[in-house]
Structure formats: C-alpha cells, structure tokens
Amino acid sequence: MLEQQTSLQPTEIITDSASYSDLVFGLFWLLGYQFSPRLAGLGKTRFWRVGETADYGALGGIARHRINTNLISHNWDDMLRVAGSLKLGTVSAPLLMQALQGGGRPTTVARAIGEVGRIAKTLHLLAYIDDEAYRRRILVQLNRGETRHTLARHVFHGQKGELRQRYREGQEDQLGALGLVVNMIALWNAIYIHDALDELRAQGEVVRREDVERLSPLVFHHINLQGKYHFTLPEEVAQGQHRPLRDPNTAQEEL
C-alpha cells in the first residue's frame, strides 16, 4: 500500500480477521488509515478504556481493560518517527515489523504502538457491532477482493500458478502482467455491462439501482482463458495412415 505507484489514495483498509493485531491497528492509525478487519470470535475480544474511573454507561461492564497512556506519551516521539519512516519509505514495512516484534519480545515502542492500536481496535469493534451498514460494507468489500483473487487464479493457470522468477524484479513483472490482464477483463466486462444496461433501458425495462450495485465486472465464466487450438493434419494421417518416418540426415519440418 505504501509502495503503490498509482494515483489512488486509499483511506481505509479492509481485511479478514487473520490479518490484525494491536500493533497493526496502531500502525495504520499512525499512518492515517482506517483499518477495518472482519473480526471473528467477538465474544473473546477485549474492549479497552482510557479513563479508569470514566463512566461508559452500558459499556462499562465490557471495557474492563485500561490503556497504558503513560507508555504512549513517553514513546510518542519515537512512534511518530516510525510512522514517518514508513511514509517516506526509508524502511520497509516487513523489516520494521520484524524489528518491532523483536523475535517474540516486542520493543517498548512496539508496545506503545500496540496501546494506541487497542484504542483504534475498540472504536472499530463498537462500530462493527452497532452499525449494520458498516458490517455490510466490510463484507461486500471482502467478497469483491475474493472474487478478484478467484479471477487472478484462473488467469494465472500456467506453472500451477506459481511464481518461478528467482528475483523480486522478475516476480514483480509477473504480478504486473497478471494485474494488467485482470484489469483488461474487468474493463471489458464493465464496458459491455454498461451497454447491456443501456439496451435494457432502451427497451423500456426498469433497471433498479440496487440490482446494478450487485453486478460485478470480475466474472469470467464467459471468457476463454486458455485459447483455441487448431490442428492441420497431413492428408495421409487424416486418412488413418502413419506419417512417414523422419530421416535424421535430412532437415524436415516437424509434423
């Protein structure tokens, strides 16, 4: 996301439940992004409070764990340096995560970022539980992402769908080509979906907006992803005879 080379400026990142932790929540918040994972096992999830004696009303019973605000304030400058390094690209996210986690023993800065992440996670949990439209938006976006992955897997059918390039540059070339083909299919579908909707309207059909919103340009069952092959057989082979044996001393075209 930080290394993308497009004009897009994402503000929200939606993932499945396996992709989140307090540290990830905190890093996204520091970078100015809304992190919105779909969470499983909400009954076991902790809710955090900032004020020990604050009255949270009906939520007071579940917000039993307190944020360590002292840890945040004492490490605030270092946390901003971490966010700035990521934004400016002076350090890669994977290397930074390894350094912060310290082989299973998080650094002080990592624990401080995790405390911030607990605040962001609690706010996300409350919105996720209370706002049905928010939950639906997350589900719809995840389904779109999975549909895109399904299309990409069908396009990338050669070599068992495995990246065979040894170096990052070659792998990026493969993934770039894959993304180009997927985008071409999406654009092709979008153009003809638009034409089909215009045709329906011209015929007097009622095209409801809620139906249009359910259409996806990522369908591919109507697209031949493996091409068509034509074979021209020599006359004698077409008549059931064997082809003549090739003379190894004579240059001949393969049949």
Whole-number pLDDT of residue 253: 55
- What is the tens place of the pLDDT at every residue in 153-202? 888 877 666 777 777 777 778 888 888 999 999 999 999 999 999 999 99
Query: Mapping DSSP to helix (H, G, I), strand (E, B) and coil, where does residue 161 land?
Result: helix
Whole-number pLDDT of residue 82: 93
Residues of the chain with pLDDT under 50: 255
Q: Where are the domains of the chain?
A: 12-130, 150-212
Whole-number pLDDT of residue 198: 94
- Reference 165, options 151, 155, 175, 180; nearest CA is 175
Ranges of beta strands (E only) in 4-137 are 12-13, 34-35, 48-49, 65-66
Whole-number pLDDT of residue 255: 46
Tell me how far apart the terminal alpha carbons of the chain are, to the nearest angstrom. Answer: 51
Considering the entire predicted model, what is its pTM?
0.71
CA 87 from chain center: how many Å? Answer: 20
Q: Which two tokens stand for residue 94?
A: 């994977």
Q: Which two tokens stand for residue 71?
A: 């840890």
Whole-number pLDDT of residue 194: 95
